[in-house]
Structure 1
Amino acid sequence: MSNAEFDVIVVGGSYAGLSAATQLGRARRRVLVIDAGQRRNRYAQHSHGFLGQDGREGAAIAAEGRTQLMKYPTVRWREGAATQAVPHDGGFRVTLADGSAHHAQRLVLATGMADELPSIPGLAERWGGSVFHCPYCHGYELDQGRIGVLATSALSFHHAMMLPDWGTVTFFLNGVFEPDAEQLAKLEARGVTIERAAVRAVSGKAAVLLEDERVIELDGLFVLSRLHSASALVEVLGCEMEDGPMGRYVRTDMMKATSIPGVYAAGDAARMAGSVAFAVADGAMAGAASHQSLIFGLPA
């Protein structure tokens, strides 16, 4: 019988973490959620594409999820950043920034990702408001208006090809990417306008100022950010990583188990691209899998 304080510690109290903890709480397991309060979509006012919650404020979805979760008597919640996690007594000891530590048999990482944007004046200030990364999350609300795509890599070609379904598209190459002849033909067939002048700044709602002093007014601008883990725990624990087109994320199997026995990962931290719906699904799987491992043991 383990002497661990908790059966499972869930690091991250956003959608994936809430979902994982809910499965565990419903299994009447002792769960601690440690949350630093940094939801990735905190910059966007509304969340879209999540069944039953379409158009609702992301903060409200998370708040209701927490309220429902905390009705389960075996669940505890700690505000703060988890800074260290080490194997301990057959499980894991997790230390917070304030020096407090907690011990659990299993660990679920739902720590999310941080977005790194190109260093163009005015871009970061509009992130989540009129500058976006996901067409499925934000494209419909632009009402078939004027849409820009700012190239950050060759992958931006796919962005530019997709977005004409949501509006009239201008593709700002910005010296980062040059489509080949076949790609140019495909973009032309989709009605995409190519703009090769360098981008100097973004102002107003989503107006793009070019180096030749022209200003192109837009209703929304899409850009693929570079992704970084929002927590150092994945590196501290030594979890194997995958190299995705936008950054590195935690490698997991179908049950959301990482390369470290007893450690699971869910949500944006453990997939190439994310959304609220994906995060909730991942969290449910990680919660159920970590629970079952307490009963049947870890794979040899």
Structure 2
Amino acid sequence: MPYDAIIIGGSYAGLSAAMQLARARRRILVIDEGQRRNRFAAASHGFLGQDGRAPDAIASDAKAELLRYPTVEWLEDRAQQAGGTEDDFTVTTAAHGELSARRLVLALGVTDDLPSIAGLTERWGRSIFHCPYCHGYELDQGDIAVIASSHHSMHQALMLPDWGKTTLMLNGCFTPDQEQLQQLQDRGVTIEPRQVQAITSHADITFADGRTLSFAGLFVLPQPSIATPLAEQLGCELEDDALYPCIKTGFTKETTVSGVFACGDAARPAGSVALAVGDGNVAGVAAHQSLVFRKAEA
């Protein structure tokens, strides 16, 4: 017997979507391989009622709450293939074979491709960040550096002076034009043209000439990509007009494929627990209502 819905991804968006379907007493399955995007961060910020808590603690508590509902099943596995049409979807996992469902919720998440700079990866989420709203306040208005990874780094550099004195490391990635130089000057941003060689200590930047600058924290924009190709396998359209390609959804978080819903970072170019939970709520409610009303109309 097919599940009413399979939710692929058990992080914040997937948990939130699953909760709405569980509370509607629908038989659902969550497939999760335990690779949350923010697993590198020591603390999560900006989510009401959870500010400053460890990300894994938030996710663990949410999972425990969800599994109290008797119609919920949880599978620790990787979804490798997905296909089918509304009311007849199939998902094939690495260890448990083929599963079927009437609806799918894609909470696939994204993976971050980080710049190749010595010392960056091991400090990611600890003293090197991508979101000032998530981590800027804790730097206590200390000196901040933005390491440019593309022209999009201008956006970070113009925002961050509200959290501390900011230096933009061009790092050979782009050259600001005259208008951008004026914008940076107006915001009090210092420009450093030298190439970053390595990151050491807490957040020290070493240049090729051997000189070092110390900062309270560093910011860099990674290159995200959707964690699995399942959306493309299903035929879901992607949007490529933001920082990275995302699954295209409408107001209800339904994709361009009827019966497939998407939420979280794979469906919105923003890394926020609060946004992921909100979008998951919408997707779960909409998936449930599609089960009710489309059946009635059939």
In 2, Cα distance between the equivalents of 1:17 and 1:70? Answer: 13
SS at match of 2:104: strand
SS at match of 2:108: coil
Q: Are 2:122 and 1:108 aligned?
A: no
CA shift for structure 1 position 50? 0.3
Runs of 5+ in structure 2 lacking a partner? none
Q: Are 2:62 and 1:59 aligned?
A: no
Q: Are 2:132 and 1:129 aligned?
A: no
In 2, Cα distance between the equivalents of 1:213 and 1:181? Answer: 30
In 1, Cα distance between the equivalents of 2:124 and 2:167? Answer: 19
Compute the TM-score of the two structures, normalised by the length of structure 2.
0.97
Equivalent residue in structure 2 for 1:258, among 249, 255, 259: 255
Of 231-240 and 278-287, more deviation after overlay is shown by 231-240
Q: Is the 8 A contact 2:87 2:103 kept in 1?
A: no
Could you say which residue in structure 2 is the equivalent of 1:201? 198
Could you say which residue in structure 2 is the equivalent of 1:46? 43
How do residues 278-293 of structure 1 correspond to structure 2 at under 5 angstroms? 278-293=275-290
SS at match of 1:247: coil
Equivalent residue in structure 1 for 2:265, among 259, 264, 268: 268
In 2, Cα distance between the equivalents of 1:86 and 1:189? Answer: 52
In 2, Cα distance between the equivalents of 1:255 and 1:90? Answer: 18
SS at match of 1:7: strand
Q: Are 2:170 and 1:173 aligned?
A: yes
**Residues 213-240 of structure 1: CA deviation (Å, up to 9, x unaligned):** 2111111110011111111211221211
In 2, Cα distance between the equivalents of 1:284 and 1:258? Answer: 15
Compute the TM-score of the two structures, normalised by the length of structure 1.
0.96
Q: Is the 8 A contact 2:131 2:271 kept in 1?
A: no
RMSD (CA atoms): 1.5
In 2, Cα distance between the equivalents of 1:176 and 1:82? Answer: 36
CA shift for structure 1 position 86? 1.4
**Residues 138-184 of structure 1: CA deviation (Å, up to 9, x unaligned):** 00000001110011111111100100100111100011111112221
CA shift for structure 1 position 23? 0.1
In 2, Cα distance between the equivalents of 1:81 and 1:210? Answer: 41
How do residues 20-169 of structure 1 correspond to structure 2 at under 5 angstroms? 20-87=17-84, 90-169=87-166
Of 17-26 and 115-124, more deviation after overlay is shown by 115-124
CA shift for structure 1 position 245? 3.7
In 2, Cα distance between the equivalents of 1:177 and 1:212? Answer: 20
Count of residues paired in the alignment: 297
Could you say which residue in structure 1 is the equivalent of 2:216? 219
Q: Is the 8 A contact 1:250 1:258 kept in 2?
A: yes
Runs of 5+ in structure 1 lacking a partner? none
SS at match of 1:297: helix
**After TM superposition, which residue ranges in structure 1, 4 or more long, deviate above 3 angstroms?**
none
In 2, Cα distance between the equivalents of 1:186 and 1:32? Answer: 50
Q: Is the 8 A contact 2:253 2:261 kept in 1?
A: yes
Q: Are 2:16 and 1:19 aligned?
A: yes
SS at match of 2:240: strand
